[in-house]
Amino acid sequence: MIPSYIDLEAIFDHYDAVFFDAYGVLVDGIDSLPNAEHLVNMMNTSATNYFIVTNDASKSTESLSNKFQSQGMKIPVERIINSGSLISGYYRDQGLLGRPTLVLGTTDSRAYVAGSGGRILDLDSASEPDVILFSHSGPYDWESTLKHLLNLVSKRFKEKDPIRMVLPNTDFIYQDGPAEFGMGAAAFVETLEEALMRLHGKHNVLRASKLGKPHPPIFIEAIRRAGSNNAVMIGDQLETDILGANNVGIDSAVVTTGINKRSDPEEFNDMPDNLTPRYILTSLV
């Protein structure tokens, strides 16, 4: 599959709803990207059915809205869908209410878990968790943290009382400035999963449940909120934004302002179809 070029006017004409990633599309991790403020103002004025669909689980939707506003983009809370906001439904559906949970993340991450009925534990808590939630990559000494978690999860697996691991934000890397990138929590979770597999073999209980892109839960929620599956996902990461949209059967458009730097359709010749966007978005205006 070879993508074609498209502009925003054509996207708005063809789709009932438009989903935007945040990092690498609207913001560079610190400031808004060129034309993002104008785009958001235009969509608000024209009552466009748009949503920000982001893997960020470190902030509440209120915090994200405030951050966007400080960057010049008036994006209301009701138009933000992040992986952290899926934690409550996950706890309810998986029967985890009241379960002790080790939260590796921010204050907002802990609030998500507390609001979902989880009982918060710290790394140095005397009692063991039944759930470990990885919501942010810092600030931790990951060498010692991974060693601790490897031995804890391994012990509980051998006791036939496995610990549930949950990874809302599945970004391996993320944009952290105009030309800077950071390692996401997924990078450390993948290391832990690989180590556990080498010790015990392949078992589903030794893999974290993933809530964010490219996994279906966040897209299902976005489609529900939009009221239509005639939607397009605009993102900068092939492995999250594009793969996830393709897997749930909605169209995808990639930008070149973030992780992805492929700008010519022919540059996708070597990519499998599920990682190939339908469109290359030429501009945010």
> Where a domain ends, among 210, 225, 245?
210
Number of domains in the chain: 2
Q: How does strand 181-183 pair with strand 173-175?
A: antiparallel
Long-range Cβ contacts of 201-207 (<8 Å, 24+ apart): 203/157, 205/157, 205/162, 205/164, 206/153, 206/157, 206/162, 207/165
Q: State whether 156 and 202 are in the same domain.
A: yes
170 contacts 55 by C-beta, under 8 angstroms: yes
CB half-sphere exposure, 258, CA atoms < 13 A? 34
Of the residues 188, 210, 232, which one is the last residue of a structural domain? 210
| Residue 67 CB neighbour total at 10 angstroms | 15
**Taking residues 136-140, what's their average pLDDT?**
82
The mean pLDDT of the chain is 95
Which among 60, 19, 4, 24 is positioned nearest to 258, based on CA atoms? 24
Q: What pLDDT was estimated at residue 131?
A: 98
Residues 178 and 218 in one domain: no
Domain C-terminal end among 163, 182, 210: 210
Give a yes or no: residue 64 inside a domain.
Answer: no
Query: What pLDDT was estimated at residue 140?
Result: 86
Query: How confident is the model at residue 174, as a pLDDT?
Result: 86
Which domain range does residue 271 map to?
Answer: 4-55+213-281
Distance between CA atoms of residues 24 and 5, nearest Å = 19
CA-angle at 23, arms to 115 and 39, nearest 5° = 105
Residues 39 and 109 in one domain: no
Say if residue 120 is in the same domain as residue 40.
no
Instruction: Residue 101: give its domain's CATH number.
Output: 3.40.50.1000
Residue 62 lies in a domain: no
> What is d(CA 123, CA 146) in angstroms, rounded to the nearest whole number?
11
Q: 172 exposed, middle or buried (CB, 10 Å; 0-12, 13-18, 19+)?
A: middle
pLDDT at 26 over 90: yes
Whether residue 129 lies inside any domain: the answer is yes
Q: Are residues 167 and 248 in the same domain?
A: no
pLDDT of residue 27: 96
pTM given for the model: 0.91
